[in-house]
Amino acid sequence: MLTALRALQGIALAGLPATAMAYLAEEVHPSALASAMGLYVAGNSIGGWPGGWSPASWPAVRLALGARGGGALAAVRGRLPGADPPGPQLRPAGALVRTVARICATRCCSGCSCSGCCS
């Protein structure tokens, strides 16, 4: 059971860096993108480092890292600008059907079906 849960955790966490990089690419100016991505990677690398050399017990280290992370979250959250509205919105499925029908109607000869007629 523990192995299955760890596998699910690994699958879920596998997409996190890619999602974070995509978010950074949308929110950060292109001239600062490399620095922002570097800080993200460095922050993740350094995040678990104190636990390896600390003389304190693991619960104490986790508590200290959690408190430090919560403090950093509070400090950064107040300084971040509001997010821009998202990019292109998804269209309803009906719009896709109408678009395909319009393309088929303009490209296909009358009386033909769309399969194989449109090129």
C-alpha torsion angle, residues 66, 69, 70, 71 (rounded to 10)? 120
- Cα 39 to chain center, whole Å? 16
The pLDDT tens digits of the residues spanning 18-64 come to 888 888 888 888 888 888 888 888 877 776 666 566 677 778 877 88
- Domain map of the chain by residue range? 15-47
Q: Out of 6-15, 53-62, 79-88, 90-99, give the one with best mean pLDDT.
A: 6-15
- The contacts of residue 33 (CB under 8 Å, 6+ apart) are 24, 25
- Cα 109 to chain center, whole Å? 44
Q: What percent of the chain has pLDDT over 70?
A: 68
Does the pTM exceed 0.85?
Answer: no
Give yes or no for residue 102 having a pLDDT over 70. Answer: yes
